[in-house]
Structure 1
């Protein structure tokens, strides 16, 4: 078995293995290790990321063990493998406190790796034109859908739901475009942006705890340099994809983050614009048209209701961010 061959490179004789996704939980003697499999293209980043983090003074990540040849990666069949100590969920706090600690450390990661740089007028205008152009096309797509639905004598349950929600999604697009325009105008005045080292795949599963309760990031496979919102938005989007909620937890996490890494006006504008953008609705409409799933109509009618809940949850967060900005 390939895993046993790889573990020999670390001089480990396992007594038991458990596969959890792309991670092997390795039991050897009294020790427990995590052997992670990743793509070659992603694993290459790790060679530079960990020394970079050490240099910047950020140590809240699970370290890698070297193999007997001194290398930190083992290549087998176009896959890379690396070994870490296993930090399990036994010491994992309740979810809300887990997220608080993760957002605090994420802010520290961004703060310690932050760099300010100039952004010229052409790049600012190109980003605005490209993004707003795409969003306007999506709005036209929504318009074509509503026209088709309203021309029918009998709409399907999914189409009926879409007609009920159409104006709400339209307003979200209008807000996103309006905020993006304000971002462009503000950026043209400052022409400065900050980049950070992104974790790349922020989730509670990728922030683990030792037996003393200290939290550490794992899975830097998709780490890269970018804007801070690129770490924040996917986590928020996933969290808000649920039943209607008041958003207090999300705002608390954002406040913790911004306490340790305050966002500049342009960064907050861009984050609000992208957060408000309801592109998930376009994806849902495209999937609905394929009509390949069993019980297609029932499943997608539930999905569009869930999409509406997500829209309202995001709207709630946007309103709280607007109130915070005004105060």
Structure 2
């Protein structure tokens, strides 16, 4: 890294430079503190990223840490293959009173989505309903066939590795997930006919504890590199699936946080069905099982076992959350049918 090029571009006179993470540097200069981020952006991403930055500033969104302009009037500095940006350093508040991080984060997500909400007509999707239904059926059939193939292959062995045993032990739960996924596919297609438009918001794209800072006055989101306009369910699914990989995930608090979110954004049955489909998608599970089979040839079975467990938790907790989501459906045809 050529520090001189980057520092000069922002006209800073650093007193101290501290590497905080692999990509974040804390700079003390001009009696202030700054955060310098070596981003994961590529040149082709810059147009979208800068448009999002301008949109956020125009909307005056709370929880956004503004970026500094470099001397060339750009929001970034490119040093060889890396792209950097600079912003004020925001210090996490530490108090004796514990905070509920799930609720705190979801309040911030709700405010973000409410401040940027628009609507998107779904008429084109209705026109392709038959194609979508066929895709659903094909995907689910493929998932079931792949899962059964893996289980039969593992069970035919005299001795199974730990991750192979896990896959076989979890097969019944995965099959329940398939069944519920099929049910939500039917709900999604049914409520599509009753829906004219869906919500469309700015989504952060990668919400996790390392990407927000809680202060006494606000919750600030960091790292907007993956932000884009889409259904608000994208942020919810991504955030929850991140939490679900950990064994100590408090599903009760997750369910409470979903109720909190719905105070900001009144999700339609169509959007709830879309969220449930995202939570129950077994694609990452199938990919991890397949990847573990390749890794086992390199004898890396411990790492495979850990990843299999993480993907299983995502589906297990996702299954529990979708049970609650089902109970919140508004259409009378779904009452007491669970």
Q: State the TM-score, normalizing by the size of structure 1.
A: 0.88
Q: Does 1:274 align with 2:254?
A: no
Structure 2 residue corresponding to 1:50, chosen from 42, 53, 56: 53
In terms of mean alpha carbon deviation, does 241-250 or 217-226 score higher? Answer: 241-250
Aligned residues: 326
Q: How does 1:98-109 map to 2 (within 5 A)?
A: 98-109=101-112
Equivalent in the alignment of 2:13: 13
Provide the C-alpha distance between the structure 1 equivalents of 2:262 and 2:242, rounded to a whole number of angstroms.
20
Deviations 1:21-57 (A, max 9, x none): 2222111143110112232233332322233223334
Q: CA deviation at 1:96?
A: 5.0
Return closer, same or farther for 1:9/1:286 CA change in 2, 3 Å cut-off.
same
- Report SS of the residue matched to 2:193: helix
Provide the C-alpha distance between the structure 1 equivalents of 2:180 and 2:119, rounded to a whole number of angstroms.
28
Q: CA deviation at 1:307?
A: 4.1
Provide the C-alpha distance between the structure 1 equivalents of 2:71 and 2:159, rounded to a whole number of angstroms.
70
Provide the C-alpha distance between the structure 2 equivalents of 1:168 and 1:255, rounded to a whole number of angstroms.
26
Q: CA deviation at 1:91?
A: 4.5
Q: Does 1:41 align with 2:53?
A: no
In terms of mean alpha carbon deviation, does 240-249 or 193-202 score higher? Answer: 240-249
Deviations 1:270-315 (A, max 9, x none): 1112202233321221122113577534444454445444433222
Provide the C-alpha distance between the structure 2 equivalents of 1:75 and 1:94, rounded to a whole number of angstroms.
42
- Report SS of the residue matched to 2:246: coil
Which runs of 5 or more residues in structure 2 are unaligned?
330-334
In terms of mean alpha carbon deviation, does 176-185 or 93-102 score higher? Answer: 93-102
Q: Does 1:251 align with 2:255?
A: yes
Return closer, same or farther for 1:158/1:58 CA change in 2, 3 Å cut-off.
closer
- Report SS of the residue matched to 1:221: coil
Q: CA deviation at 1:165?
A: 1.8
Provide the C-alpha distance between the structure 1 equivalents of 2:52 and 2:98, rounded to a whole number of angstroms.
28
Q: Does 1:179 align with 2:184?
A: yes
- Report SS of the residue matched to 2:260: helix
- Report SS of the residue matched to 2:14: coil
- Report SS of the residue matched to 1:248: helix
Provide the C-alpha distance between the structure 2 equivalents of 1:323 and 1:188, rounded to a whole number of angstroms.
20
Equivalent in the alignment of 1:117: 120
Q: CA deviation at 1:80?
A: 2.6
Report if aligned partners of 2:279, 2:315 keep a CA contact under 8 Å in 1: no
Which runs of 5 or more residues in structure 1 are unaligned?
none
Report if aligned partners of 2:59, 2:116 keep a CA contact under 8 Å in 1: yes
Equivalent in the alignment of 2:201: 196
Report if aligned partners of 2:243, 2:249 keep a CA contact under 8 Å in 1: no
In terms of mean alpha carbon deviation, does 95-104 or 110-119 score higher? Answer: 95-104
Q: State the TM-score, normalizing by the size of structure 2.
A: 0.85
